[in-house]
């Protein structure tokens, strides 16, 4: 009985008509269907995280999202609606919120930029000034004047006559100059400022210095310039006919006012969507909006090449590509927005021959997206999602890094993994695998002291009469901290009588703890909707929100409420060629699965999507008991399978819980 293994899932979803190419390696590390799973350079496949609620757009209008990055510690999310701009930024704890004035009013700027213009905005930023250009719009300068104040004004530099040239549609910084291109009346023209003087575009005809402004018209193209991007050694220009390069006459020759050259480097045309850059490589959307090209210099041929990254996955872009962004984090994924309101994740690394596509779907329509730099230097992905008639700004939740058993302080004395289980249960509370989601917790940072018998005293006022019947629960730090207390009597805002419910407690003085609850109010955005709830790290159930309220039949300390989404993997037809025989068309059955997980919960597997079996159904049994540990290692399951010629493996996650699958082994019988 052959034992076959899949331990590389990096190819993502491939085209359906590749289901006969079992002779190629990608056949076994790609999928015919891949939905709401992503991979990484390690080759694992992971259930994508949820989209957490940030805000609603102003007056429930469609918005355009963009990043303003002053420095690593201070970046802003910009929200452009019709004529108005609002700002969001991170606080000292990494939480995102509105930028407000001294009276706590949300700061807004009148921009006179229409939504139509905002959809085509291109930006170029230098320190605290961002230049904005769009078709048919006078360029603007958005300036940060302090951490909480901005101004916006028209850019009207010397040497550019808008009445004769029109307004530029593209802008970039490169080589110490500000560049404009794609003017309304001169669509093939490019203008560059004086070096380090971005307000001077006046071209001189005598006594020309290297740093003087310059102007040129591209001669090898006829379609308008769509975008500009500063590269490592060249200024890249995208248009529907291809990518042109501006340099000083060679690949690494600096541009001067007397030495400037423009060449058409390739003929794989670009759309108007701004490109994104990862390392030295540029990724852009094709003119027909069906492909993503990677554009880079090839040292062997000494030429710039555009590689088609959709060659084996053309079906996934039927919805037409709209925007593209690179997200810097542990997965290093490029995200693409489709015009049909869905998204794609692209895993790409040329040195490892990794190129995989991973479709992302949600219950709403994704309208826009962008990345913003977090204070830790990594990126957040923000999405504007239309759900039930409302425009929401949401953020793709971060993955939680679970602690390993041998990383814990008490592993030598933790034979039953009791401490470890508590620590993992605490980390599970931070996971988010629900869309449009909100987190609810009564976590306190307030030192309390238990007298050892029946009284808890808090350092600061926190208690009230409504807490009677609820519980005080320690938030564990190392797994050794443990204590559950039922509140039986209210004494004062700093003192309550309690009954020790757990079999012991440690320590008697602790600062991070929860007050449990059994009801959530204020869920007006979910009114009448059926939502999923994850409570204390385990899946609780689905609930219909009535009058903005959900009531539970148990006490919980932390929960996430939102819309569920399914993750699905379907392999191509199992089989290969042996001694000239095509086993792909041979009758076969799978007798056993061995799945290797890392901190995973839930998941169902099978060869028939209508007859799947749960590997582990993960649900909380009550916060007073430790929930089951997520799967971390091998899970072996024998199955009763029918015999057929067309046989595929399905992996599904329809619970809002983490999945990280590193290996899938299946034992298969042929000819039976």
pLDDT score at 548: 97
Run of H or E residues at 451: none
In the block, tokens 């930006």 appear at 123
DSSP 444: E
- Residue 457 three-state SS: strand
What is the per-residue DSSP string for 469-491?
A: T-EEEE--SSS--B-EEEEEEEE
Q: State residue 1's pLDDT score.
A: 61
Those residues whose C-beta lies under 8 Å from the C-beta of residue 3, and which sit 6 or more positions away, are 665, 666, 667
Distance (Å, whole) CA 222 – CA 241: 8
Domains and CATH numbers, the chain: 3-48+566-670 (2.60.120), 414-563 (no CATH)
Per-residue pLDDT tens digits for 232-260 = 789 999 999 999 999 988 777 889 998 99
In this predicted structure, what is the pLDDT of residue 301?
65
Distance CA(54)–CA(127), nearest Å, equals 26
pLDDT score, position 233: 82
* Secondary structure of 242-284 in HEC code, one letter for each residue: EEEEEECCCCCCCCCCCCCEEEEEECCCECCCCCEEECCEEEE
Write down the residue that tokens 């905002």 correspond to. Answer: 118
Spatial CA neighbour of 398 closest among 423, 416, 376: 376
* Tokens of residue 412, six digits: 């030598």
Tokens representing 483 are: 């204590």
Alpha carbon distance 74, 88 (integer Å): 11
Q: What is this structure's pTM? A: 0.95
SS3 at position 174: strand
**Alpha carbon distance 379, 373 (integer Å):** 4
* Residues of the chain scoring pLDDT < 70: 1, 299-302, 577, 579-580, 621-626, 672
Q: Strand 45-47 and strand 235-239: pairing? A: unpaired
User: From CA 259, how far away is CA 452, in angstroms rounded?
Assistant: 82
pLDDT of residue 621: 63
In tens, the pLDDT along 528-570 reads 999 999 999 999 999 999 999 999 999 999 999 999 999 999 9
Point out which residues pair with 144 in neighbouring strands: 150
- Give the separation between CA 667 and CA 594, rounded to whole angstroms: 8
Tracing tokens 């159904």 back to the chain, one arrives at 617
Q: Which residue has the tokens 């041979």?
A: 586
Q: Taking a C-beta distance cutoff of 8 angstroms, is the pair 632, 597 a contact?
A: yes
| Rounded Cα distance, 489 and 467, in Å | 9
């Amino acid at each position: 009985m052959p034992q076959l293994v899949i331990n590389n899932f990096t190819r993502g979803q491939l085209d359906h008509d590749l289901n006969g190419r079992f002779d190629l390696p990608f056949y076994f590390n790609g999928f015919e269907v891949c939905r709401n799973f992503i991979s990484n350079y390690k080759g694992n496949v992971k259930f994508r995280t949820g989209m957490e609620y940030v805000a609603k757009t102003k007056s429930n209008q469609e918005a355009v999202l963009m990043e303003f990055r002053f420095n690593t510690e201070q970046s802003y999310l910009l929200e452009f609606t019709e004529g108005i701009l609002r700002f969001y930024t991170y606080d000292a704890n990494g939480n995102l919120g509105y930028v407000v004035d001294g009276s706590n009013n949300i700061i807004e700027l009148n921009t006179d930029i229409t939504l139509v213009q905002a959809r085509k905005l291109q930006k170029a930023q230098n320190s605290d000034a961002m230049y904005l250009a769009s078709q048919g719009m006078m360029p603007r300068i958005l300036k940060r004047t302090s951490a909480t104040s901005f101004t916006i004004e028209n850019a009207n530099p010397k040497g550019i006559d808008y009445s004769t040239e029109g307004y530029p549609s593209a802008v970039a910084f490169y080589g110490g100059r500000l560049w404009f291109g794609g003017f309304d009346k001169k669509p093939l023209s490019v203008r560059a400022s004086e070096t380090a003087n971005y307000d001077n575009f006046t071209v001189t005809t005598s006594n020309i210095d290297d740093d003087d402004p310059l102007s040129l018209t591209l001669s090898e193209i006829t379609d308008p310039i769509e975008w500009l991007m500063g590269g490592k050694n060249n200024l890249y220009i995208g248009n529907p006919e291809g990518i042109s390069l501006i340099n000083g006459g060679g690949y690494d020759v600096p541009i001067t006012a007397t030495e400037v050259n423009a060449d058409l480097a390739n003929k794989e045309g670009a759309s108007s969507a701004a490109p994104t850059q990862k390392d030295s490589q540029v990724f852009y959307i094709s003119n027909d909006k069906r492909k993503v090209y990677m554009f880079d210099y090839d040292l062997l041929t000494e030429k710039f090449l555009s590689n088609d990254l959709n060659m084996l996955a053309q079906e996934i872009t039927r919805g037409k590509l709209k925007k593209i962004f690179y997200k810097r984090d542990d997965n290093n994924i490029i995200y693409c927005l489709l015009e049909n309101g869905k998204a794609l994740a692209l895993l790409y690394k040329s040195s490892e021959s990794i190129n995989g596509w991973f479709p992302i779907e949600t219950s709403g329509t994704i309208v826009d997206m962008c990345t913003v730099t977090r204070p830790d230097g990594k990126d957040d992905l923000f999405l504007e999602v239309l759900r039930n008639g409302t425009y929401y700004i949401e953020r793709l939740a971060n993955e939680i890094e679970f602690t390993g058993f041998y990383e814990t302080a008490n592993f030598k004395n933790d034979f039953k993994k009791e401490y470890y289980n508590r620590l993992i249960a605490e980390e599970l509370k931070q996971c988010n695998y629900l869309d449009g989601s909100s987190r609810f917790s009564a976590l306190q940072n307030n030192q309390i002291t238990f007298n050892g018998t029946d009284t808890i005293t808090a350092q600061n006022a926190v208690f009230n009469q409504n807490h009677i019947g609820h519980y005080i629960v320690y938030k564990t730090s190392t797994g050794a901290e443990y204590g559950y207390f039922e509140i039986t009597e209210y004494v004062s805002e700093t003192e309550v009588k309690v009954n020790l419910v757990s079999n012991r407690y440690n320590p008697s003085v602790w600062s991070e703890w929860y007050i449990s609850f059994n009801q959530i109010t204020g869920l007006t955005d979910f009114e009448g909707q059926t939502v999923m709830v994850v409570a204390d790290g385990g899946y609780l159930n689905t609930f219909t929100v009535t009058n903005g309220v959900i009531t539970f039949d148990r006490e919980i300390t932390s929960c996430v409420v939102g819309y569920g989404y399914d993750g699905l993997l379907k392999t191509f037809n199992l089989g290969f060629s042996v001694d000239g025989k095509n086993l792909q068309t041979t009758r076969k059955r799978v007798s056993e699965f061995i799945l290797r997980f890392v901190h995973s919960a839930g998941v169902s597997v099978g060869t028939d999507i209508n007859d799947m079996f749960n590997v582990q159904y993960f649900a909380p049994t009550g916060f007073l008991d430790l929930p089951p540990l997520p799967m971390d290692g091998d899970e072996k399951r024998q199955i009763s399978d029918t015999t057929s010629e067309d046989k595929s493996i399905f992996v599904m996650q329809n619970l809002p819980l983490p999945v990280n699958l590193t290996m899938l082994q299946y034992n298969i019988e042929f000819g039976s």
